[in-house]
Amino acid sequence: DVKVTQSSRYLVKRTGEKVFLECVQDMDHENMFWYRQDPGLGLRLIYFSYDVKMKEKGDIPEGYSVSREKKERFSLILESASTNQTSMYLCATASWGTTYEQYFGPGTRLTVT
């Protein structure tokens, strides 16, 4: 089974702090994704990466950056956290191949006060 883990289930940070969310997968998947999920807005793609050190902007990249130094690890960085970044953050992975099925981590509920 694919296992995707996220560094924290719940996180509380103050406005202006730099925040790191980490995602680790154990299935050697090339592709990794960061989404945020908000009531009424559904899931929105922030960034994705299809290879080590490669990244592509998703639909809402503003205020975020990412890092992928190793294949199994994809980090989301909030450079200066703001209250409108309070959300559920979900990491996902997928492999090239016939199915390209996405697998999700358990999520991190981030609150910025």
Partner 1 sequence: KQEVTQIPAALSVPEGENLVLNCSFTDSAIYNLQWFRQDPGKGLTSLLLIQSSQREQTSGRLNASLDKSSGRSTLYIAASQPGDSATYLCAVKRNTDKLIFGTGTRLQVFP
Binding site for partner 1 (CB under 8 A): 4, 31, 40, 42-43, 45, 48, 50, 56, 58, 88, 90, 92, 98-107, 109
Q: Could you give the count of Cα atoms lying within 13 Å of 97 in the half-sphere of its Cβ?
A: 11
- Residue 60 CB neighbour total at 10 angstroms: 14
Quote the tokens at residue 100. 């390209």
Smaller CB separation from partner 1, 38 or 79: 38
Smaller CB separation from partner 1, 67 or 102: 102
- Is there a contact between 35 and 93 (Cβ–Cβ < 8 Å)? no
- Min separation Cβ 33 and partner 1, Å: 8
- Min separation Cβ 17 and partner 1, Å: 23
